[in-house]
Structure 1
């Protein structure tokens, strides 16, 4: 007999609830360490992000004496190198060799897509940080949740803000040429144009672009340019953009990793005033973040950003789930149900998950300013409880193709 994903999720949740209600169902709980696998790109073009992921998760566990819900935790880190095939190999090693109880990561959308079916087949509880849209849309897995956002989820508020508050009418987008960049720009385009703006040019560059000069020379005149870059690409693009004298002619705005805190630490005053959007900022004024961000900065000499926060939040959600299941990671269904049922207070604010396993949480519009002599992403506006469907009807949304280079169609491109 076959069952739908919705039915399976329901049964999974039911199993979790039953386990919590009946202590006899958790008798198989072990007394050994909880083994957590981390998939992080520690080499390659995304290495800075992957390294931050490991630093923050290690800090989270160390702050708790490497103990969660009364059980010791063993963290096993695997370097995916930002390569899909390597990500799959490392995931297999974590599950089949290291016998991990859950996985956090990986970072890149193309890595996550490469291992999604395998993780579901192995019924491995996974706390994802990758933004790959369809993993929580048309092809959700009951064993996966995303704690960050989809590629487009944070771009939606910035697109609306650009029209309604910044009064921009024409924008050029430039992004890394892979799923994350495609989906982010597509979501931004949809909301920007639905609010009366026009995307007049779309540029996609290889992930490991050594020189942006030829692309910058092609940029058309517009009110602003939107950066859909990851890793250090935003920093390198902006430097050349300024060298070409374009920053004085058009505004620069960016997605959630374009001017991440890990990028800002290498920049100077040229970044001041640039607006970006994200689900996190090291400047967030809440008790948990006011403890985390200064501690991270003290230890590593720079502010935490998207990458570091993604695994720290993963740790917070996992800890809440482990407390709910009394540390019983051997009952995977119960653990996954507890994760999906989370309503945890985290360094990014309170979060919960929709029926597809995607986070619902605040999105922040940020402006690069100076604080104590360093560049920071100051929060200037909060959009509360943003979902992956924005204001669109969920059923209609899911009938459309996943966002891509060509969807939605760009109807206002200038020749």
Structure 2
């Protein structure tokens, strides 16, 4: 698990076009780039998503002359391996040894929770990929700006869609037995049951479960559909075994924001067709920023960008926009923080702004897996505009309740 230092030196022509070379030279000097640290998982169970995080960020930098806000960028990449203790160690190395001024990542909620107190104490602006709810709720940090979403931010509208549009009445929730899975299913359960549905079963396989047979055997056949709250390649593995057990056509499947990520779809076949998922991003989104991103990413890697690549690409767009008003002045983290609080940016996911807790308010897309030009894609079939982490709830009342978990809100309709 290493740290990879990469220096990006923009040409004089690029710098001049952005700010004017003399201004840049006076303000920060040729040897004073923005030092950007990326905490990602290049080994371990999250490696596929972690590699996409790096690729998404690299795509943005390459398209923008290796600059953000008119500043040259020195990118330092640290591999956490998806291990909380390693994530904390690498965070300290990035800040204390590599002198990183801004951080992106880490990937997993348990990694973010392990590094949160250190980042607060050091007052480091950070753009997490991890979706841990309380990081932008009851324990919000003034230095954290999440441009992706909380665990439940997309699950809320999917539950609404399942109840009101798909007319499901009884559902089973299956998710990884980690904070992300617990929080996502909790948010889904709350909205689905408030809309008149019933969650009749909740199952939490271990993150590294070698086989899902035990859990498939338990699935209630009385349900209308199964919600999948998996990360990484686990959604693909579950669906493959779901079909092997002869359950296709007997229970409908819907997925959370990472269950059928584009990085997973490229390894799937017809078994994925027609499955509805929800996310704040799709490679099929029609906007100029995303069109350029998808084209460059597909050319470089021969597959579409998904959730993990979009997380860092969108975060880079926001950081770029927030740095721009500083006009090449010496880096000031307090000034950057103030700018981020006011930033509204057009990104690959669409328009982005932050609430007062540092979490994104943006569009959420209901998607269906279809085949297009020989590959599987997440086609957009519905849009929920300007979705907050608090859904339609009053923030004060929401925050007075416990954080989403395996046990909150209580599951009152379980059977068997």
TM range (shorter): over 0.9
1:275, 1:293 → 2: CA distance? 21
Q: Please show how residues 13-412 of structure 1 align to structure 2 within 5 Å.
A: 32-221=32-221, 222-328=223-329, 330-412=331-413
Report the alpha carbon displacement of residue 287 of structure 1 after superposing the two structures with TM: 1.1
- Structure 1 length normalisation: TM-score? 0.92
1:181, 1:168 → 2: CA distance? 21
Report the alpha carbon displacement of residue 328 of structure 1 after superposing the two structures with TM: 4.0
1:333, 1:30 → 2: CA distance? 23
Match of 2:331, SS state, is: coil
1:236, 1:326 → 2: CA distance? 48
1:239, 1:265 → 2: CA distance? 14
1:220-261 deviation digits (Å, cap 9, x = unpaired): 111000000000000001000011111210100000000000
Report the alpha carbon displacement of residue 80 of structure 1 after superposing the two structures with TM: 0.7
Kindly tell me: are residues 351 and 29 of structure 1, through their superposed partners in 2, closer, same or farther at Cα, counting changes over 3 Å? farther
2:350, 2:59 → 1: CA distance? 19
324-333 vs 225-234, which deviates more? 324-333
Kindly tell me: are residues 28 and 329 of structure 1, through their superposed partners in 2, closer, same or farther at Cα, counting changes over 3 Å? closer
Match of 2:38, SS state, is: strand
After the TM superposition, which segments of 4 or more aligned residues of structure 1 sit over 3 Å from their partners?
Answer: 26-31
369-378 vs 62-71, which deviates more? 62-71
- Structure 2 length normalisation: TM-score? 0.92
Kindly tell me: are residues 29 and 334 of structure 1, through their superposed partners in 2, closer, same or farther at Cα, counting changes over 3 Å? farther
Q: Is the 8 A contact 2:59 2:296 kept in 1?
A: no
327-336 vs 26-35, which deviates more? 26-35
Structure 2 match to 1:19: none
The two structures, once aligned, show a CA RMSD in angstroms of 1.4
Q: Is the 8 A contact 1:288 1:347 kept in 2?
A: yes
Q: Is the 8 A contact 1:106 1:129 kept in 2?
A: yes
Structure 2 match to 1:8: none
Q: Report how many aligned residue pairs link the two structures.
A: 391
Structure 2 match to 1:11: none
Kindly tell me: are residues 118 and 29 of structure 1, through their superposed partners in 2, closer, same or farther at Cα, counting changes over 3 Å? farther
Report the alpha carbon displacement of residue 340 of structure 1 after superposing the two structures with TM: 2.1
